[in-house]
Amino acid sequence: MSSENVIVSNSKRSFNGIIQLTGSKSESNRALILQALSNGNIRIENLSSAADTVTLHRILQSEIHNPGATVDIGPAGTAMRFLTAYSAVKGLDVTLTGTARMKQRPIGMLVDALRVLGADISYTENEGFPPIKTGSNFVQKANRVSIKGNVSSQYITALLLVAPTLPQGLDIYIEGELTSKPYVEMTLTMLEQSGIAHTWTGNTIHIDPQAFKPVTLTVEPDWSAASYWYSIAALSQEAVIELPYLKADSLQGDSRIADIMAHFGIVSTFTGKGLTIRKTDKELTQREFDFKECPDLAQTVVVCCAALGHNATFTGLETLKIKETDRVKALQNELAKIGVTLTEDNETYYLDCSQKHIPEKVSIHTYDDHRMAMAFAPLALVIDEVEIEDHQVVEKSYPHYWDDLKKAGFNVQVQTSDVRC
């Protein structure tokens, strides 16, 4: 089996310029479901070009409305969760499937909640995992569900998005601590922008049956994508990077990267044009990082710490094990190639850089995970050559990543290599 890899290098190791990021995948995917539920009354501007969003858009426009259709979502986890709720409450006779990894990602908690509401859903292969089949008849039988808060906020978001269309409305009781709370808050804010009111009392979110109002939702650029430029700035000798249209009052939880990277000497300045980040000589002193509310930033920060030889402690990584890959294991495997260890002790993770070494070249396996590719590519600022296997994986969230690296002075050479299993 062969795949196109890239060799990334950067002898200049400094950058002063502008990078225009694609629209937020998280905001875009929510906006597309809201648009579909509003029967087209909602317009969207600056929709993300990420593959997951392109896939969701295509499916909502045609495929999911064909009775008896089998809809292949590929590796798009957000789309799987959102479309499961959408097709179930809309009473669509469809089967939702995806990649081999998608069939390993649990969805039973969401399916159980939808069944309580009255949805007809069955598993076509393994209990608790896609593929799933939704039936053509939906009659609401209950207006309250309970769902664990520490597994995936996408289950809660999927239910919130469809809640206004339910004849009896919906109460969602969140059991225990809520992981990735900013993503739930993003969903509720976008619902408010679409004319949907809610109450959040204690652990219960309540939404009455309501109609969407005609509105235009403008998607902010992707803060998850911005995180890689913070890492590039931190690993550069000098850096001043402009990221247009990013906002200080963002809906995106990953905007926390600005606060996190302040500990790495990166100063964030917001202007009327967007965000400028600047490398300073501030000494790195922060030793503990909690990713409970922003788990998608973890790989970026962990790899950045490793590259800088900075021992650190991390918490809030539990959800990383059920993402596109087991991201904790993937990090452990790839960091070992530069002598860095990441060990777990009762949900606390310790990064030990005492045996770190800098080889002339390192090859990074991506595990079909876009964030592995983009988190490790900045290592080219400290290692002469970094080979990233299966470089096209970045299309899932940041299709122009390699082109943007070239704009920043990186040398990116595509080659075909044997993929190691």
* Sequence-separated (6 or more) residues with CB below 8 Å from residue 303: 231, 331, 335, 375, 376, 378, 379
The confidence score (pLDDT) of residue 362 equals 98
The confidence score (pLDDT) of residue 417 equals 54
Q: Among the three residues 159, 194, 218, which one is the final residue of a domain in this structure?
A: 218
Length of the chain: 421
Helices 298-308 + 327-335 axis angle, to 10: 20
The confidence score (pLDDT) of residue 323 equals 82
Verify that 186 and 312 share a domain, yes or no.
no
Verify that 123 and 182 share a domain, yes or no.
yes
Backbone phi and psi for residue 319, each to the nearest 5 degrees, phi listed first: -75, -15
User: Residue 321 is part of which domain span?
Assistant: 2-23+220-418
The catalytic residue among 222, 296, 390, 404 is 296
Q: Name residues of the chain where pLDDT drops below 70.
A: 1-3, 417-421
Verify that 239 and 365 share a domain, yes or no.
yes
Verify that 59 and 110 share a domain, yes or no.
yes
Q: Which two tokens stand for residue 278?
A: 């600047």
Verify that 84 and 149 share a domain, yes or no.
yes
The confidence score (pLDDT) of residue 388 equals 97
Verify that 77 and 13 share a domain, yes or no.
no
Q: DSSP of 252-289, one letter per residue?
A: -GGGGHHHHHHTTTEEEEEETTEEEEEE--PPP---EE
The confidence score (pLDDT) of residue 52 equals 93
Q: Which residues are registered as beta bridge partners of 362?
A: 386
Verify that 274 and 401 share a domain, yes or no.
yes
Verify that 61 and 150 share a domain, yes or no.
yes
Verify that 378 and 246 share a domain, yes or no.
yes
What is the spatial distance between Cα 350 and Cα 314, in angstroms, rounded to a whole number? 6
What is the spatial distance between Cα 341 and Cα 353, in angstroms, rounded to a whole number? 7
Question: Is 296 assigned a catalytic role?
Answer: yes
The confidence score (pLDDT) of residue 421 equals 37
pTM of the model: 0.87
Query: Which helix (H) or strand (E) covers residue 359, if one does?
Result: none
- Secondary structure of residue 341 in the 3-state scheme: strand
Smallest CA-to-CA distance from 256 within 281, 220, 292 is with 292
**CATH no. for residue 121?**
3.65.10.10
Q: Which two tokens stand for residue 319?
A: 């959800």
